[in-house]
Amino acid sequence: MGKVYTGLDERLRQFILAQPVFFVATAPSGDDGHVNVSPKGYRDTFAILGSRTVAYLDLTGSGAETIAHLRQNGRITIMFCSFTETPKILRLQGTGRVVLPGAPDWDALSSRFPAAAGRSPDPDAVAGAASRRAVIVADLDRIADSCGYSVPVMALVTERDLLNRSNGRKTPGTLDTYRAERNMVSIDGLPALTRPR
């Protein structure tokens, strides 16, 4: 049976940080538009900022649905799911905001992700500086778990480094062009990134 928590205690923090993947869900307001669910990976791209505040490093990809939806209405759910023998699902629900490079709190927030800044002592860290697009910060109003009894047990073989390698081959100018072409609006035409960087 699931439980609702008042905050992220040490046991929940350990569970979160042990998961190699998490899922982010957002949706535009109204009856139209597409609900979006995105898998997120890479070690050191999720940070717990407080008992009811978390953040993750948003990496340059082919779409920007999460950014567009957060700009429109701020609603976000982040789900962690155990694929080990101990079944558990944890959902973090609340309000998110987008912090772009150059924003007043960018340096403080992006420093929470050492692998992405190229400062990780871990040689297997794969999320590099070239991929950084934004930091998503979520203030949580509901923290709840559920059983996860039907989730399969799976083993992590390795993290894919394809996104980072692809973005790492781009110059700052070609990354700006890519973001301008692919990340400025959502699939429903909502504004996402406001300018290339």
pTM higher than the cut 0.85: yes
Burial of 110 (C-beta count, 10 Å sphere; 0-12/13-18/19+): buried
> pLDDT digits over 67-94, tens only?
999 999 999 999 999 999 989 999 999 9
* Residues 127, 59 contacting (CB under 8 angstroms): yes
pLDDT beyond 50 at 186 = yes
pLDDT beyond 60 at 122 = no
User: By three-state DSSP, how is residue 59 classified?
Assistant: strand
Per-residue pLDDT at 139: 98
User: By three-state DSSP, how is residue 22 classified?
Assistant: strand
pLDDT beyond 90 at 194 = no
Per-residue pLDDT at 137: 98
Give the integer Cα–Cα distance in Å for 7 and 123.
33
Give the integer Cα–Cα distance in Å for 143 and 141.
7
Residue 123 confidence class, pLDDT cut points 50, 70, 90: very low
What average pLDDT does the structure give for the chain? 89
Per-residue pLDDT at 19: 95
Q: How is residue 37 written in tokens?
A: 């669910």
* Residues 147, 8 contacting (CB under 8 angstroms): no
Pick the CATH number of 3-182 from 2.30.110.10, 3.40.50.300, 1.10.443.10, 3.10.129.10: 2.30.110.10
For residue 144, the one-letter residue type is A
Residue 1 confidence class, pLDDT cut points 50, 70, 90: low
Q: What is the mean pLDDT of residues 24-44?
A: 93
Per-residue pLDDT at 124: 45
Q: What is the mean pLDDT of residues 133-161?
A: 93
